[in-house]
Structure 1
Amino acid sequence: MSKPISDKPIVKALVELCHLHGVEQVIISPGSRNAPLIISFNGCERFECLSIVDERSAAYFALGLAREKKKPVALVCTSGTAALNYAPAVAEAYYQKIPLVVITADRPKEWINQADGQAIDQPGIYNNFIRHQCTLPLSGGHSDDEWYMNRMLNEAFQKCNGTVPGPIHINVPMREPLYGKTVYPEKTARKIELLTGDSQLSEEAIALLTSEIERYERVMVITGAMYHQPELKNALELLAKKGVVVLTETLSNLESDNFTGNMDRIVSTITEDEHLFFSPDMLITLDVPVLSKMIKKILRKTQPKIHWHFSNHHNITDTYQALSRIIKGNAAQILQQVASKMDEREKRFRDTWNKRATLSAERHTQYFDKLAWCDLKLYNILSETNLPSRQIHLGNSTPVRYAQLFNWNEEHTWYANRGTSGIDGCVSTAAGAAFGSDKPVLLITGDLSFLYDSNGLWHKYLPESFRIIIVNNGGGGIFRFIHGPTDTEELEEFFETKHSHNCEGIARTFGLDYHSCKNADEVTEQLKTFFNPSNKPAVMEVFTPNVESGKLLKQYFKFLKNEI
């Protein structure tokens, strides 16, 4: 570092180790206590520094960017409540296993709880949602300080980029003055390397798994939200060809004629008397979140005889209350080995699922012949329109569920914040992904999710190709069809939070083109040009009826069951 940077040695060491451990982008929120960090990161040409004011939005932006780049992204903020605003995205990153380097400036320890400004007790604020945390020494002037800090930071970065990656918290207390600069002699920080590889099972272990899976005819794999993984897809293809039922969700990013997609569309048709016909004797799951409550309910009730769960976590995840074996290692490689050794089985179980999938697809198509304008009609139009290849982000709560019901262009890739399933960061996450992606990004979100995170547009890093479709049904549409809220007098004010706002002013404020539609014909017409190249990102706000949308979705599931 030949340019002037902060004269605080601890900051110099931190910045150098960020670089050595793969950080290339730093998202900075303004402040004074973090001035040494701002000066040093910005003064180092190895980093791309971005400025985002709202810390909550900044953290979700970093999450989307890190997920897209598959590299750690650093966050830098001042002391006090600024650090607390990172918490929702830190929790989401923890459950999605996304590497974030959360760097919070802090007051010296002796001034905490002394009625001093912007001073809170920061160590441990992300305690339950962090892979590693440390507080750096204040001075950094003694050789032991430098050695101790180097050890702490190397350990932190190894946890951030480890077998199970995730966010780390580095708390940096600093005394005034904060704006001093100096030029340091060239000296490379010491990186401690950690050599790891894919954990492989022994031949004996593979033989054990193969003999176990061959004891059962009715075997099912369920996949949830994940990146596109060609190696895993190949392994699951081989299992499916040998008679295993592979259930996928839109967010699985797994498309194949050998897999059973549109999970909720199919599962919703299974009556209670049919549960056993569609339930596996053996269940195989991966360490990813599954959206469908319907399949979880059936499997918890019918209880598979054996359940394998692939996970490199230390904790036990027993989602279906039937867990019998945890398998650590590379799931794709292990499943490929098992699939290649196992014999083909009778395909009666798979045929049962395939026949029901065909029937539900026919009923699904029939339902839209005379369907009135509603949320479901909108998603049908989107799925049938030849949308250009996109990375599509889905907001919580209704967009992810509606998307599950339709077939889409195989060129799309799908993402959503399903680690904790909150609505609070969908705009910012999509914006971060759009900034880092070579593929154009489309966000489909509800009105509440968009309004909640509208500060996700409050920066200068939105690419011109970024597009947002807002489904404005005047409130939280999910509460119109989940069991419970519709029967309460508090529905509109406290659950649905009914409103009459539109998003045009927000779009205009942040410099986005704005379009609105109020019916199917207008949507169809707008989609003809909405994705055309332009010099601005764009929003399409689609207004749908709230009461009717909930009723028609409930009728849809009854129609699939042939009950109406």
Structure 2
Amino acid sequence: MLPEIIHAQQVVLLFKKRQIKHIVISPGSRNAPLTIGFTEDSFFTCYSIVDERCAGHVALGMAQQLREPVALLCTSGSALLNYYPAVTEAYYSEIPLIVLSADRPPHKIDIGDGQTIRQKHVYSNHILYDCELTMIHDKIQVESIATNERLLNKALNTTIARSGPVHINIPFEEPLYNRVEKSTIKDVKTIDILKEETSIIPDEFYKHWDNSSSKLIILSTLNVDVLTEADLNKLTSDPSVLIMSEVGSNIRHDKVVWGIDTLIAPIENIDEEITHLQPDMVVTIGGMIVSKKIKQYLRKFETKIHYHVGKRRAYDTFFKLAGHIKVKPSTWVQSLHSKTVNSQYQEYWLKTFKNRIEKRKSYFETMPWCDFKVYKLLFQNLPDNILLQLGNSSTVRYAQLFPMNTSHKIYANRGTSGIDGSTSTAIGAAMASDRPCIFITGDLSFFYDSNALWNNYIPKNFKIIVINNSGGGIFRILPGHKDTHEFDTYFETKHDLTAIQLCEMYHIGYHKVGDEAAFAKAYQQFLSKNDKPQLLEIVTPSKVNDEILLNYFKFLR
């Protein structure tokens, strides 16, 4: 069965032809023609998620793992505004997402009809492409049918080729629920996919590269197969090359600095020491950089020249961007000349980093129960071959202080870096992955997105770890007056909430610990139960975490 409305048929038929299979539907009435079209065809896999803000992030998590477009479908009015946080994350994280919003006919906008807003171009600042389809009442409207085909193809081509969100606004007039056995139109046409953007590596780049005695490469958010072991071996065989990787880079190598803040923080205010780190040139590969310290450092000491390599969007993060080399990072590595520069840049900083890692062992031995200790225990004891999803704020920053398991695939919403939607994204990723998924998050982020658990598709082996320090502990690390009413209420947001009632309501196994001995007993039980999703709530103090973390960096000096 198909919807009777012809332009709804166009959407369904073209999505099927272009292999857009996964449709996350937010229930409503105005979107009924498309809901009917997608759910009545067994080709599509449809999901019903009531809360649009959660639905948007679920689709985002699925697309993150599938590396192909996932569609969102909603009714008219404020519904599509609730997709906006996910749309912005998809835009900055460069994840293919298609928003299909049902709308009132154009002549019914701004005349006082209910559930009606100005939907056209609503995402204009954070979208790769948007369009509005023409309403088609009869198959003799040949030009309108052709126009819709062109608009739909352009939207799909854009999200596939450029990897980001697109928005298709679709006006419908009642009746909305009528169906037909066969399509009213003969076929839908597929217009050629956009050609992949590539660029020639300029001679100027090779000139800088070959003559620089200190080259810094920063690897941020990457998929797991972007750089091979051979690529890393070639890069690190040059003594003038120092590679720093972030937790979301999914990169580990003996000659790569995996803890940027551990290297920089102890000397960030000692100019005579940190100036030695200043590179002749910087190359970035990947998405947004997590470490605020490396960004501040490279801005303060005025990076001489910066190139960005890869298809991901290039940002002038250090105000010295000379060019964007739009080739695959592996292709770029293979193009580099075998000539190396006589330098001690890599050796000096790798030795410094290894000394810090050795020295911190004694700090860990005396560390009391706190956030830092919990993260240390977690990252030492996570099982192999999992999909690891990290919440924002404190979680991803603590993760940067530990070496990651090479068998893990690691992701976080680092496009906009907000706490909203982290749980929903992790659930969407788990729904689309063949790996068991563990999601680690802070308390505020978890409670903020608690509607994420209102989802009938959560895999039974999905696991959530919530570090509950009774507020937004990251604010204690930032400058400002602490332990005042204003700080507790408007910054740290102190609370006495616990996850137990949410787990009871959504039939999730619940475990709670508050010290190291209890953790040792409960953790294995938490991991071993796979009959339904499990949540481990780890309670930590609220007032010592900032001192322990800041003292860690001081200790390493």
Match of 1:392 among 368, 388, 392: 388
The equivalent of 1:108 in structure 2 is 105
Contact residue 391 and residue 439 of structure 2 kept, 8 A = yes
Contact residue 159 and residue 165 of structure 2 kept, 8 A = yes
Equivalent-residue separation in structure 1 for 2:303 and 2:484 (angstroms): 36
1:65, distance to aligned residue in structure 2 (A): 0.3
SS in structure 1 opposite 2:482? helix
The equivalent of 2:33 in structure 1 is 36
1:464, distance to aligned residue in structure 2 (A): 0.9
Alignment map for 1:432-471 (pairs within 5 Å): 432-471=428-467
The equivalent of 1:179 in structure 2 is 177
The equivalent of 2:419 in structure 1 is 423
The equivalent of 1:496 in structure 2 is 492
AA of the residue aligned to 2:121? G
Match of 1:544 among 521, 540, 544: 540
SS in structure 2 opposite 1:319? coil
Q: Bigger CA drift: 428-437 or 299-308?
A: 299-308
1:385, distance to aligned residue in structure 2 (A): 2.0
1:326-382 deviation line (CA, Å, top 9, x unaligned): 3223232123211xx231223410012111111210222111111111000101111
- For the structure 1 residues 198 and 136, does the alpha-carbon distance in structure 2 shift closer, same or farther, using more than 3 Å as the test? closer
Contact residue 278 and residue 352 of structure 1 kept, 8 A = no
Is 1:410 aligned with 2:406? yes
Match of 1:45 among 42, 49, 59: 42
AA of the residue aligned to 1:172? I
The equivalent of 1:321 in structure 2 is 319
- For the structure 1 residues 411 and 347, does the alpha-carbon distance in structure 2 shift closer, same or farther, using more than 3 Å as the test? farther
1:220, distance to aligned residue in structure 2 (A): 0.7
Moved over 4 A (4+): none
The equivalent of 1:169 in structure 2 is 167
Contact residue 269 and residue 360 of structure 1 kept, 8 A = no
Give the TM-score normalised by structure 1: 0.94
Contact residue 472 and residue 541 of structure 1 kept, 8 A = yes
1:501, distance to aligned residue in structure 2 (A): 0.6
The equivalent of 1:297 in structure 2 is 296
Is 1:235 aligned with 2:222? no
1:8, distance to aligned residue in structure 2 (A): 0.3
Equivalent-residue separation in structure 2 for 1:77 and 1:527 (angstroms): 40
Equivalent-residue separation in structure 1 for 2:191 and 2:429 (angstroms): 30
- For the structure 1 residues 11 and 386, does the alpha-carbon distance in structure 2 shift closer, same or farther, using more than 3 Å as the test? closer
Contact residue 231 and residue 333 of structure 1 kept, 8 A = no
Is 1:358 aligned with 2:350? no
Show structure 2 runs of 5+ residues with no match.
none
- For the structure 1 residues 419 and 350, does the alpha-carbon distance in structure 2 shift closer, same or farther, using more than 3 Å as the test? same
AA of the residue aligned to 2:540? T
- For the structure 1 residues 66 and 140, does the alpha-carbon distance in structure 2 shift closer, same or farther, using more than 3 Å as the test? farther
SS in structure 1 opposite 2:429? helix
1:312, distance to aligned residue in structure 2 (A): 4.6
Is 1:152 aligned with 2:151? yes
Match of 1:225 among 205, 221, 224: 221
SS in structure 1 opposite 2:272? helix
1:44, distance to aligned residue in structure 2 (A): 1.4
1:413, distance to aligned residue in structure 2 (A): 1.5
The equivalent of 1:553 in structure 2 is 549
1:159, distance to aligned residue in structure 2 (A): 0.7
SS in structure 1 opposite 2:467? strand
The equivalent of 2:281 in structure 1 is 282
Contact residue 60 and residue 86 of structure 2 kept, 8 A = yes
SS in structure 1 opposite 2:206? helix
The equivalent of 2:509 in structure 1 is 513
The equivalent of 1:254 in structure 2 is 251
Equivalent-residue separation in structure 2 for 1:209 and 1:253 (angstroms): 26
The equivalent of 2:519 in structure 1 is 523
Q: Bigger CA drift: 237-246 or 47-56?
A: 237-246
Aligned residues: 551
- For the structure 1 residues 498 and 487, does the alpha-carbon distance in structure 2 shift closer, same or farther, using more than 3 Å as the test? closer
SS in structure 1 opposite 2:496? coil
1:489, distance to aligned residue in structure 2 (A): 5.3
Equivalent-residue separation in structure 2 for 1:404 and 1:299 (angstroms): 18
Contact residue 103 and residue 171 of structure 1 kept, 8 A = yes
Contact residue 289 and residue 418 of structure 1 kept, 8 A = yes
Show structure 1 runs of 5+ residues with no match.
none
1:208, distance to aligned residue in structure 2 (A): 4.5
Q: Give identity over the alignment, percent.
A: 38
AA of the residue aligned to 1:317? Y
AA of the residue aligned to 2:48? S
Equivalent-residue separation in structure 1 for 2:34 and 2:464 (angstroms): 34
Is 1:310 aligned with 2:306? no
AA of the residue aligned to 1:281? D
Is 1:24 aligned with 2:21? yes
1:235, distance to aligned residue in structure 2 (A): 2.7
Alignment map for 1:1-80 (pairs within 5 Å): 4-80=1-77
Q: Bigger CA drift: 11-20 or 527-536?
A: 527-536
Q: Bigger CA drift: 288-297 or 263-272?
A: 263-272
1:21, distance to aligned residue in structure 2 (A): 2.5
